[in-house]
Amino acid sequence: QIVGHKEIRNLQVLAQKCQLALHKCYIEMGLQEKELGILSALTLGYREELDKRVQQSFSASGAMHVLAVSGLHTGIVWSILVWLLTLGGRLKPLYHERWKRYLTSAIIILLLWGYAFITGLSPSVMRSALMLSFLECSFLLKQRTSRWNPVLAAAVIILVFNPLSLW
- CA distances to 10, 35, 43, 122, 164 from 24, in Å: 21, 14, 13, 19, 29
pTM for this predicted structure: 0.79
Q: What is the pLDDT of residue 42?
A: 83
Give pLDDT tens digits for 58-99. Answer: 788 877 777 778 888 899 999 999 888 887 777 665 556 777
Q: What is the pLDDT of residue 114?
A: 94
User: Which H or E element spans position 117?
Assistant: helix 98-118
**Burial tier of 69 (Cβ tally within 10 Å: 0-12, 13-18, 19+):** buried
Q: What is the pLDDT of residue 1?
A: 66
Range 137-145 contact pairs with CB under 8 angstroms and sequence separation of 24 or more:
137/105, 137/109, 139/105, 140/101, 140/102, 140/105
Tens digit of pLDDT at every position of the chain (167 positions): 667 767 767 888 888 899 889 989 988 998 888 888 888 888 888 888 778 888 888 788 877 777 778 888 899 999 999 888 887 777 665 556 777 888 888 999 999 999 999 988 888 888 899 999 998 888 877 777 777 888 888 888 988 988 887 77
Q: What is the DSSP string of 9-64?
A: -SHHHHHHHHHHHHHHHHHHTT--HHHHHHHHHHHH---TT--HHHHHHHHHTT-H
Are 156 and 134 in contact by the 8 Å Cβ rule? The answer is: no
